[in-house]
């Protein structure tokens, strides 16, 4: 067991997570009584200069003690960590963990004296929909670029038609199946792009002003918003702030008139036969040039700008997911990224203060999550990728999924915990809570395929998804046990007429987990304290002022042994999975396994 001093940014440890300048904040550390030291010091920064303050013991129980210190907050960002010394110890506690040597301030805890993320995220579960593949209500007349596909046929990956095969899903289909989403336990939908485009994925928008007619146009959107509002389901859209599509009317105007304002929206480059810079050099995705003040107005500054319009009461969105947010505003030696990101955040807050702004953030660019930019990231690097590596049974299925030209790795539970501690140590707690956690998405293999069809492993992973800090997102069909070898193969349609291929037992278990996620206070408001990190299983506590929950996730057959008396707890109720009572959780499992217990 891991019996170490602990602190995080949750309510048990920080008296005010979004103070105003000049207010005082109390910081607490939880320390096992078996951990001996003579000096406890908080080191923090005021105006860029390190300061120190001694911690005092506030409370002592049989198993642990609470120590704390109160300091004034004078800067918008306060970085801090704790030192425990004496009795042969010289340990620093930072957001990345406990270290017996000096560590860089980049891993310090961070308190941000600015408004936080939307609090409704704490009890949200999102359902990701790829609009072309969720549900279809009618046949459509398709544009010339599209290749029609039968609804129940599988996508053809790496074919000449990849990206232009259209199944004909629409927003009316989403409206008609809202009950499936709400009965699953989700109360939010994240849509990949729904704008007109020249592809099935629609990341090459021809306009940001309307809903694609193939999806039913604006009328279908307004009907969906009305129906979703009745069911208290929030809708989040997907915006490509980095680029548009080659068919966008901005580009058409720019090509016709090099003196037009739209001509300033792009980077012109004669090295390409099409004459402009594209994302990754692609003709289909012209990159946007934010040196243009007119583009900034059109995208996010003006009252009727794209970012603001869709968040308005008329259009009804609850937030934006930003595609390749890390690349937005960057081109060679030009770097306008931060000012564009801050501008988008400002537009969101001014238009809808409780809207969610989450970005695809590549390798977890920490500065983007430091308080003024995106609320959170799609947590691939700090959650889904290491989890996939720990549970991986299909190593050769996709090297690219890890962003490397090699087979996907296999790691131990300890390596998994070390990985996510490293990522968590680079950002404020508020950014972790406001990040999207996911097992897979429209860009990755399906998790059921990653674990080689192992339902028990998939359920263990889903249990972690629903109990880990952040906003869980279920990719449509995951709850039904869908498989897929790659992003394209994973974008499979749901057969609503014949449900014989649905994994109904798995679906029933996922519904239990989403209920826990949305109703258990420790999961909604609690911190994250690691209890065990073994090769084949790990355990962590989620603790709030009202509730304490222990989660154990086993990736393989193993013996789990956790003595809760050392933490001062005992099991009061089994919430899910492996049953247990008393102060000792000890069992042997022959498969992947999970247990979620309420403690007292």
Supply the pLDDT for residue 2: 85
Q: How many CB atoms lie within 10 A of CB 512?
A: 16
Q: Which residues contact 195 (CB under 8 A, 6 or more apart)?
A: 202, 205, 206, 207, 208, 209, 210, 211, 212
Supply the pLDDT for residue 407: 78
Supply the pLDDT for residue 348: 98
Q: Which CATH superfamily is domain 24-112 in?
A: Immunoglobulins (2.60.40.10)
Strand partners, 276: 268
Alpha-carbon span 580 to 563, nearest angstrom: 12
Whether the CA torsion 216, 222, 227, 233 is positive or negative: it is: positive
Ramachandran sector of residue 216 (left: φ over 0; alpha: ψ -120 to 50; beta: rest): left
Question: Token digits for 418?
Answer: 């070390």
Alpha-carbon span 403 to 194, nearest angstrom: 27
Place of tokens 């989660």: 551
Place of tokens 């395929």: 449
**Can you tell me whether residue 380 is helix, strand or coil?**
helix
Element (H, E) at 250: helix 249-256
Supply the pLDDT for residue 401: 61
Alpha-carbon span 319 to 190, nearest angstrom: 9
Place of tokens 């690691």: 530
CB 389 within 8 A of CB 349: no
Strand partners, 30: 6, 66
DSSP class per residue in 456-504? HHHHHHHHHHHHSSSEEEEETTGGGT---SSHHHH-PPP-SS--TTS-H
Alpha-carbon span 266 to 173, nearest angstrom: 36
DSSP class per residue in 98-148? EESS---GGGSEEEE-S--S-GGGGG--EEEE-TTTS---S-----TT-EE
Place of tokens 């990949």: 192
Q: How many CB atoms lie within 10 A of CB 422?
A: 17
Which regions of the chain are under pLDDT 50?
none
Tell me the backbone φ, ψ of residue 463, rounded to 5 degrees: -65, -40
- Best CA proximity match to 164, nearest among 129, 132, 128, 139: 132
Supply the pLDDT for residue 510: 98
Alpha-carbon span 283 to 276, nearest angstrom: 8
Alpha-carbon span 573 to 550, nearest angstrom: 11
Q: How many CB atoms lie within 10 A of CB 406?
A: 10
Question: Using CB atoms within 10 A of its CB, is residue 293 exposed (0-12), middle (13-18) or buried (19+)?
Answer: exposed
Alpha-carbon span 488 to 31, nearest angstrom: 48
Q: What is the DSSP letter of 409?
A: P
What is the C-alpha radius of gyration for the chain, rounded to an integer number of angstroms?
A: 25
Cα angle 254, 258, 260 (rounded to 5 degrees) comes to 65
Place of tokens 């995220």: 121
Supply the pLDDT for residue 365: 85
Alpha-carbon span 199 to 165, nearest angstrom: 8
Tell me the backbone φ, ψ of residue 146, rounded to 5 degrees: -85, 145
Residue limits of CATH 2.60.40.10 in the chain: 24-112
Residue limits of CATH 2.60.40.1180 in the chain: 527-599
Alpha-carbon span 326 to 594, nearest angstrom: 35
Please tell me the CATH code under which domain 527-599 is placed: 2.60.40.1180
Question: Token digits for 518?
Answer: 């949305």
Q: How many CB atoms lie within 10 A of CB 277?
A: 21
Alpha-carbon span 550 to 423, nearest angstrom: 22
Supply the pLDDT for residue 210: 98
Element (H, E) at 80: strand 77-86
Q: How far is CA 583 from CA 2, 527, 564, 586, 598, in A?
A: 16, 21, 5, 10, 12
């Amino acid at each position: 067991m891991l019996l170490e001093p602990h602190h995080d940014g949750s309510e048990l440890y920080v008296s005010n997570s979004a103070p105003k300048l000049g207010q005082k904040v109390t910081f607490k550390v939880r320390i096992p009584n078996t951990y001996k030291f003579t000096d406890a010091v908080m080191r923090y920064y005021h105006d860029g200069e390190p300061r120190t303050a001694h911690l005092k013991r506030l409370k002592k129980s049989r198993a642990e003690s609470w120590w704390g210190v109160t300091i004034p907050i004078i800067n918008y960002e306060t970085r801090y960590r704790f030192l425990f010394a004496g009795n042969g110890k010289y340990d620093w506690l930072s957001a990345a963990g406990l270290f017996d040597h000096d560590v860089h301030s980049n891993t310090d805890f961070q308190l941000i004296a600015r408004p936080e993320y939307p609090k409704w995220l704490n009890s949200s579960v999102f359902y990701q929909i790829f609009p072309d593949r969720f549900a279809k209500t009618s046949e459509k007349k398709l544009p010339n670029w599209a290749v029609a596909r039968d609804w129940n046929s599988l996508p053809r990956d790496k074919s000449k038609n990849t990206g232009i095969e259209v199944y004909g899903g629409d927003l009316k289909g989403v409206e008609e199946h809202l009950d499936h989403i709400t009965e699953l336990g989700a109360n939010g939908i994240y849509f990949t792009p729904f704008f007109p485009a020249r592809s099935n994925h629609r990341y090459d928008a021809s306009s940001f002003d309307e809903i694609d007619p193939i999806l039913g146009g604006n009328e279908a959107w307004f009907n969906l918003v009305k129906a979703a509002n009745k069911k208290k389901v929030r809708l989040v859209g997907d915006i490509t702030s980095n680029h548009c599509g080659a068919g966008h009317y901005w580009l058409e105007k720019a090509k016709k008139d090099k003196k037009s304002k739209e001509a300033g929206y792009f980077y012109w480059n004669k090295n390409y036969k099409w004459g402009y810079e594209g994302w990754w050099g692609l003709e289909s995705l012209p990159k946007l040039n934010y040196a243009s003040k007119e583009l900034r107005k059109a995208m996010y500054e003006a009252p009727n700008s794209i970012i603001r319009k869709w968040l308005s009461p008329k259009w009804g969105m609850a937030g934006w997911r930003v595609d390749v947010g890390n690349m937005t505003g960057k081109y060679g030696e030009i770097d306008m990224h931060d000012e564009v990101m801050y501008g988008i955040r400002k537009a969101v807050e001014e238009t809808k203060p409780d809207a969610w702004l989450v970005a695809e953030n590549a390798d977890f660019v920490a500065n983007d999550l430091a308080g003024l930019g995106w609320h959170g990231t799609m947590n691939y690097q700090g959650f889904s990728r290491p989890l996939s590596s720990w549970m991986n049974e299909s190593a050769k299925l996709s090297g690219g999924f890890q962003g490397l030209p090699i087979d996907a790795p296999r790691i131990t539970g300890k390596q998994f915990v070390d990985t996510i501690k490293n990522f968590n140590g680079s950002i404020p707690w508020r950014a972790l809570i406001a990040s999207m956690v996911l097992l897979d998405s429209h860009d990755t293999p399906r998790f059921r395929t990653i674990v080689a069809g192992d339902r028990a492993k998939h359920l263990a992973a889903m249990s972690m998804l629903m109990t880990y800090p952040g906003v869980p997102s279920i990719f449509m069909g995951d709850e039904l046990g869908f498989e897929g070898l790659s992003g394209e193969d994973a974008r499979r349609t749901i057969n609503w007429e014949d449900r014989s291929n649905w994994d109904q037992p798995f679906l029933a278990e996922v519904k239990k987990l989403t209920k826990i996620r949305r109703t258990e206070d420790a999961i909604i408001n609690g911190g994250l304290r690691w209890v065990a990190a073994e090769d084949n299983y790990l355990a962590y506590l989620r603790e709030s002022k009202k509730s304490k929950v222990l989660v154990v996730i086993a990736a393989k057959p193993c013996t789990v042994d956790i003595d809760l008396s050392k933490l001062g707890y005992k099991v009061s109720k089994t919430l899910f999975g492996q049953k247990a009572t008393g102060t000792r959780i000890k069992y042997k499992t022959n498969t992947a396994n999970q247990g979620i217990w309420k403690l007292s």
